[in-house]
Each structure stands twice: as C-alpha cells, then as structure tokens.
Amino acid sequence: MSHMITTHDLGKTYGDRTVVANLDLRVPEGCVYGFLGPNGSGKTTTMKMLLSLVRPTTGEIRIMGRPMERSTRRELLGRIGALIETPPSYEHLTGRENMRLVKRLLDLDDGRTTRAVRTVRLQDHLDKPVRDYSLGMRQRLGIAMALAREPRLLILDEPTNGLDPAGIEEIRRLLAQLAGDGTTVMVSSHLLGEIDRTATVLGILGEGRMLFQGTRDQLLARSTPDVLIDTPEPERATALAARWSAYRDGPAVRLPGLDRTDTAHVVAHLVHERVDVHGVRRDTQSLEDVFMDLTGGRGL
Ligand SMILES: Nc1ncnc2c1ncn2[C@@H]1O[C@H](COP(=O)(O)OP(=O)(O)OP(=O)(O)O)[C@@H](O)[C@H]1O
C-alpha cells in the first residue's frame, strides 16, 4: 500500500513538556484518515509539524514518498491544502472577495476557485460578507480556500467543531466525496462519532502518543466486550465470580471486559460450584466504547 504520509519517531517538546512522542503515522493514499484524541492530546501540534508550521524536536516526516526537508518543503507544501484552527477568511469581505484573494495569492486560474466553491456548495452565498456566514459556511469557505490549489493531500483540524448535526453531515459528505475523487484527507476530531463513518483509517492519540492506528474493524477486533451469563441463580453466581468484577445486570450477571481464558475459568468455576449456566453471551461493544476505553473516558 502506498502512503501519503509516514512519520518515524515524530515528537515535539516544549521546554520540559513532551506534547507529542514517538509518532509513527501511516496515512494511506486516497483514504480519509480520522485523527482522533481528547482535547490537548497533541493533534494540532502534529498537524502543524506536518505542515512545517511547528519544528519537530525528533523524527522524520515523509509526504508523497519524499522527506519533508528544506529542499523539498516548498514543492510539497504546494500540493497540500490545510485548515488549521479558525478559518482564515476576512470577515468584512464577501466569500467571493476572499476567494479572489486566494486566487491572486496562489496565482490560480478562475476555474480552480469556481470548482472549489462548488465542491463545498457555497456558490449561492458568495456575495454575503463572511461576518454574516454561519459557522458551517465559514468552515466550508475555509475548506474551499484549502481546495483551490487542488491539493493531493488535505489536512483539516477539527472542521466539525461547533457545527450542528446538519453541518457535521455536510462536512462528512464532502470529505467522502473528496476521497472518492482521489484526494487524501487527514481530519482531526475529539469526537469519534463525528468522523467515525467517514474515516476508513483511524489514528487515536492520547497524551501525545499513538494508542491505536488501523481500520475500524481492526479497532473493534482489539476490544474485549463484556460477557453476560444467564442463570437462575444470579445472586450466587455474582458472589462466586466476584474476583472477575461480576455484577448483576437485570436477570443476568455481567463480567466486564472478560477475555477468552477468563471466560472459560468463570464458567468452569460456576459449573464446579453447581450453578446452572443457561447461557453465555458476548455483549456488543460500540466503537465509541472502545474509543472511551483507549482514551480513559476522556473522549467527550
Ligand atoms: N506553543 C506551545 N507552547 C507550549 N505548549 C504548547 C504549545 N502549543 C501546544 N502546547 C501544548 O501541547 C499540548 C497539545 O496541544 P494540541 O493543541 O496539539 O492538542 P490537540 O489534541 O490539538 O487539542 P485541541 O483539540 O484542544 O487543540 C497542550 O497541552 C498544549 O497546551
């Protein structure tokens, strides 16, 4: 698989505070890569390092197969579109005037800015000053500005932050469409639910370190969901399985995050103690639960 971005041992330290450490990013070409983590986990710092806005303390970055260094930086950055923190538009100017500035700054032809505006479906709002735009429209204008140069890689920092559900859905659709057209999109969020279905690959950051990187299925496979035991003697079964943290859950007994070996031990123990076991089931675990487990419940 060819990668749009790879990093090796990427890290950033401010004074004696390490905010990103040992990061080995693998962003496959043509995917939507969901970069997830609680607030303050280092997502913005990482994205800024990829864009040469922050100098890494350690490690290497390769983009489009080439090392990001002084001699390649200009050319590589010319093929990356980015939206970091607040959208970069001028409030008192209209959307059209803002796009015109981008066009002039990057020396683009009209076609590119027109296409970018259509992609984000802002063509009917171009003559309003940006200060009258909704947050969703501002984000879309910011994305249009990043798209104007028709980048191969788009890096977006929390583009759904503060949007209502309709706005979030709009951005999701846009990202999927861009990836469908061949643009690699790296998008950060502190809420798994906001990019879960759009992202084909997930990278989960916690306190500056990668906790997980892979597909959603791989993430789900790593989880150990709870086990539920059906028995006519739930009180006695709960007491007998106390060392596995058993507790009553309606008519059943719940054993949190029990792996296969412990499941076998619990069942053997209950049977040995002559408790009738009528059923043993695995609870279903949502991706949200796995994310919460990984980030220590700080994903919200
Ligand atoms: N210039 C800086 N000097 C010192 N510390 C910094 C600097 N920039 C960021 N940090 C610290 O680095 C940590 C990671 O911040 P960063 O913004 O990368 O996290 P984040 O995951 O993007 O969170 P958020 O979603 O809140 O932006 C934070 O604790 C922040 O205070």
> E strand or H helix at 213, and its extent?
strand 209-215
Whole-number Å distance between alpha carbons of 233 and 181: 58
Q: For the chain, which ranges sit under pLDDT 50?
A: 300
Q: Ligand 1 pocket test: which of 17, 45, 46 has the largest number of ligand atoms within 8 Å of its C-beta?
A: 45
Atom 29, ligand 1: which residue's CA is nearest? Answer: 40
- Ligand 1 mean position to 208 CA, how many Å? 9
Tell me: the pLDDT tens digits for 187-214?
A: 999 887 777 778 999 999 999 999 999 9
- Compute the Cα dihedral for 241, 243, 244, 248 and give only its sign: positive
Quote the pLDDT of residue 35.
95
Quote the pLDDT of residue 298.
58
Atom 26, ligand 1: which residue's CA is nearest? Answer: 39
Residue 95: name the closest of 130, 119, 45 by CA.
130
Tell me: the pLDDT tens digits for 83-121?
A: 997 767 788 999 999 999 999 988 888 888 998 898 888
ipTM for the predicted complex comes to 0.93
- Tally of residues, the chain: 300
Whole-number Å distance between alpha carbons of 123 and 116: 9
Tell me which fold the domain 224-284 belongs to: Alpha-Beta Plaits (3.30.70)
C-alpha separations of 187 from 40, 60, 130, 211, 276 in Å: 16, 20, 24, 17, 51
Please tell me if the CB atom of residue 162 comes closer than 6 angstroms to any atom of ligand 1. Answer: no
- Ligand 1 mean position to 51 CA, how many Å? 16
Atom 6, ligand 1: which residue's CA is nearest? Answer: 14
Please tell me if the CB atom of residue 19 comes closer than 6 angstroms to any atom of ligand 1. Answer: yes
Please tell me if the CB atom of residue 190 comes closer than 6 angstroms to any atom of ligand 1. Answer: yes
Q: Please determine whether the domains at 3-221 and 224-284 fall in the same fold group of CATH.
A: no
Please tell me if the CB atom of residue 48 comes closer than 6 angstroms to any atom of ligand 1. Answer: no
Class assignment of domain 3-221?
alpha beta
- Ligand 1 mean position to 40 CA, how many Å? 5
Q: Ligand 1 pocket test: which of 17, 41, 86 has the largest number of ligand atoms within 8 Å of its C-beta?
A: 41
Please tell me if the CB atom of residue 14 comes closer than 6 angstroms to any atom of ligand 1. Answer: yes
* Contact between residue 236 and residue 227 where contact means Cβ atoms under 8 Å apart: no
Taking the domains of the chain in order of start, what are their residue ranges?
A: 3-221, 224-284
Quote the pLDDT of residue 46.
98
- Ligand 1 mean position to 280 CA, how many Å? 45
